[in-house]
Amino acid sequence: MLAKTPFLLLCLCFSLGILVSASIDIAPGSVALGFALLPLAALAYAFRRQHLPVFLLLSLVILMGFLRHEYWKQAHLRQPHQHFLPLRSDTLTVMLHSLEKRSRLRAEAELREIVRNGRRALLAGRIVLDFPYRYDESLEPGQILIITDAMLELPPGPRNPGQFDYRRYLEGQGIAAVCRVSDPRQIGMAGHGGNFSPEYRLFYPLRRKLQQIIHRHLPEPGAGFLQALLLGVRSGLSPGTREDFQHAGVMHVLAISGLHVGFVAVIFHLLLSFLPLYFKTRNWLIMVLLLGYMFLTGATPPVVRATLMGCFYFLAINLERRGSVYNYLFAAGFLILLCQPQQLFWVGFQFSFTAVLSIVYFYRKLQPPAAAVLRRIRKAPLRWRLEKWLMAPFLVSLAAQIGTLPLAVHYFQLFSLVAFFLNLIVIPLVGVIVSAGFLFLLLGTLSNVLAGILAAFLDLLIRLLVLLVQQAAALPFAYLHILHFGWMEMAVYFSLIFLLLYWRRRPLRTVFSVISLVGMMLAAALQWGGDPALDLIVIDVGQGDSALLTTPRGKSVLIDTGPASRYGNAADAAIIPVLRRLGRRKIDYLFISHPHLDHLGGTFRLLRYAAVDSVFLPPTPPGFHWNDTLLQVLQERQIPHRLLNAGERVIIDGETRIYVLNPLPAGLDSIAAPGHDLNNHSLVLLCKHRDQTILFTGDAETEAEHLLLGWGDILRSEVLKVGHHGSITSSGSEFLARIRPRYATVSVGKKNRFKHPSPQVIRRLQQSGARVLRTDRDAAVWLRCRDGRWEQVQWKH
């Protein structure tokens, strides 16, 4: 097989070199010397001499992969200015590379020049440029901008356990800095710098022209959907549509991939077949058109892979050579990694190559058992139709799912149960939409009447497709959330797959059985190993509050859910990632300290994600919008809820109790009185676990603290969640003296407009002997208590 697929070993060895470069940070010269000497010293004894040139060649390819990735890191991630970030400049000159519009305009830009303290310096590398909200100037790739008073910063890293690592993502794209522009007056235009770029001068204008044709004839959401299918522009897709397609397991049709390139290749072949062309000439034209379509759609990894494989296929026909699909695949991978070695770590690259490899390999393995099933059907015509129109597409879908399932679960914690069958309908329907879509774009340049007729047909098909996917995603058990699936689980999964495929081969059956058993035992040991502990995570939700408490007996308590706005909410951004990191989709007890939006804003989204057993709130008179809305939602969802007053308690488990210290029942009427607000009516909760105590004070201020002093020594706590984000109106000296905390956590947003926390409050906390931990500086604070000893968990490492 290796003789027919030489690129298999070349691609794998080149990838190994890239992995070595990404994993360790050593001088490239040392590695080069080691690779030059080790094969001569070791491999000459391990293998026969006639194999030595092969191993030397493969060692050289590994070295090439290593050096290629090192060169890429040097060019993109090791620029001199990156050592001085954050870096403020008088002016910053950049050239726009790509634009994306969602809640705000965002661009990828190439650095050109910086002026700082009157001194000018040339820069290199790429940055992400965030424009002000509602910035509506007409921009396009290739434009040069001069930004005054610009601040270059490191991309933000994860602020909570399990949160998306934006910094690592951008570094994988070769971007090591971001610049956020807050005022449109900072931006100045300075001409166009992409005079000789095909992307800026040809493909981007053509893409915009085609988008205008689509939006002229199709209403939303059909227009946004069609431009995603044909042009790879997904900014017009709503978050709800993306979520439905992801849950239904057909998200792949929304990204330009091999499926779309295959449809396009067939369309080009059919169109050119009407011309009196020699077949080799036709194949050359198809290759040129495919390459043009690749650049038109942005040259994403799946499109590049599919285009290169298609070109190799037509090239082999022209050269009258028989090719191997494996060789096409790995040759495409080798060329892509040679040009952009960082793509090895891109999710799109991994999904694309895994899907094709899985289809090619598993389809043939699945055919014999499928044929055995079909042979039981006695009527030959029916058997033939089932095999051609049903069984073959089903096997292709199943083969692709077998390979990509581990990646989907690993990256998205999602396994769709309806995808196997839904793809049988969705893929042909997408094929019709893509074919009709290209005809529509052609007619759009010739006749508005004909284009309008076809647009109505396309809009109907798109609505049908979206409705079908929505209904499938809404089915009970349409998908499963699998919250932990690492490399060990992947090894067990593939061992079980190969065990089924090679069950009749005894040696292989033994090998895969042993691997499966050992892997399952190790996975179980890692999952359940270690002593249980009490964990408190003060979640970084920005300017708001949310804290998650998990007990050694497995109970989960969430106190507040952070803020929400039209730009997002704390549940999606912070709380749900933390729950996924901990492998949880259930909240046993949810406490809302008071109905201010920065404390309950994420509740509504959280209730759609996690099962919540019980909700506890302070009694609040009618008329407070968010409180009334929340109570209505709880009643509609039939979630048990209870209003708490001082003196009550909630039993969490046999070792954990929560005692309510505030509000007093008599204080309800005072909320509407002048000078009073909901802050002093917050739930103040004392969590008692064995002999350890945690005090949660909500937004309680000095007025409530004076009342709380009446509880005396009961207030003594090891951990204090500081009230009202460290405001000057809270955390009085007498109150802190009664608590005497070892740890004081302040939940507060970075650079918030309230200037929280107050320096005076921080001094008081420090004078009380507490170690102060702040979410604006420390990100999420994770404290763990085991056997009466508290420690801070370094979750970022």
Tens digit of each residue's pLDDT (9 = 90 or more) over 686-744: 999 999 999 999 999 999 999 999 999 999 999 999 999 999 999 999 999 999 999 99
Task: Determine the Cα–Cα distance for residues 680 and 708; give it in Å rounded to an integer.
Answer: 11
Residue 388, pLDDT score: 61
Q: Are 168 and 107 contacting, i.e. CB atoms less than 8 angstroms apart?
A: no
- pLDDT, residue 623, reads 78
Strand partners, 778: none
- What DSSP character marks residue 125? S
Confidence of residue 102 (pLDDT cuts 50, 70, 90): confident
Sign of CA dihedral 17, 20, 25, 27: negative
In this predicted structure, which of 517-531, 539-553, 593-607 has the lowest mean pLDDT? 517-531
Phi/psi of residue 248, nearest 5 degrees: -85, -5
The 10s digit of each residue's pLDDT in 192-210 is: 776 667 877 788 888 889 9
CA 288, CA 286: separation in Å to the nearest integer? 5
**Tokens (6 digits) for 546:** 């949310």
Name the pLDDT band for 618 (thresholds 50, 70, 90): very high
Look at residue 617 and tell me whether its pLDDT is greater than 70: yes
Q: 438 and 229 in contact (C-beta within 8 Å)?
A: no
The predicted structure's pLDDT at residue 675:
45
pLDDT at 54 over 80: no
pLDDT recorded at residue 411: 86
HSE-CB of 167 using CA atoms within 13 angstroms: 10
Average pLDDT over residues 57-61: 82
The crossing angle, in degrees rounded to 10, of helices 448-473 and 222-231 is 90
pLDDT at site 378: 63
- Residue 379 pLDDT > 70, yes or no? no
pLDDT for residue 557: 98
pLDDT of residue 674: 45
Which of 11-20, 352-361, 481-490, 688-697 comes out lowest in average pLDDT?
481-490
| Residue 152: C-alpha distances to residues 93, 126, 164 (Å) | 12, 11, 21
Structure tokens at 790: 């508290």
Burial track 383-398 (b if 16+ CB lie within 10 A, e otherwise) = beebbeeebeebbbbb
3-state secondary structure of 26: coil
Judged against a pLDDT cut of 80, whether residue 122 lies above it is answered with: yes
Q: Of the ranges 162-171, 298-307, 363-372, 476-485, which is most confident?
A: 162-171
532 Cβ contact list (under 8 Å, min separation 6): 552, 553
pLDDT of 386 over the 80 cut: no
Can you list the positions of beta strands (E) in 672-792? Answer: 684-689, 692-696, 719-721, 743-746, 771-774, 781-786, 789-792
- Output the pLDDT for position 82: 82
What per-residue confidence (pLDDT) applies to 376?
72
Convert the pLDDT of each residue in 623-670 to its tens digit.
778 888 999 999 999 999 999 999 999 999 999 999 999 998 765 555
pLDDT tens string 736-781:
999 999 999 999 999 899 999 999 999 999 999 999 999 999 999 9
Residue 153 bridge partners (DSSP): 178
The answer, yes or no, to whether residue 562 has pLDDT greater than 90, is yes
Q: Of 667, 243, 255, 174, nearest to 472 (Cα)?
A: 243
CB of 155 within 8 A of CB of 166? yes
- Phi first, then psi, for residue 512 (nearest 5°) are -70, -30
- Residue 264 scores a pLDDT above 80: yes
pLDDT in tens, 314-340: 998 998 888 788 999 999 999 999 999
**Residue where the block lists tokens 């000057």:** 728
Does position 268 have pLDDT exceeding 60, yes or no? yes
Confidence at residue 43, expressed as pLDDT on a 0 to 100 scale: 52
**Average pLDDT score over residue span 364-371:** 83
Q: Is the pLDDT of residue 42 over 80?
A: no
Q: How confident is the model at residue 513 (pLDDT cuts 50, 70, 90)?
A: confident
- The rounded mean pLDDT for the chain is 87
DSSP 478: S
pLDDT of residue 196: 63
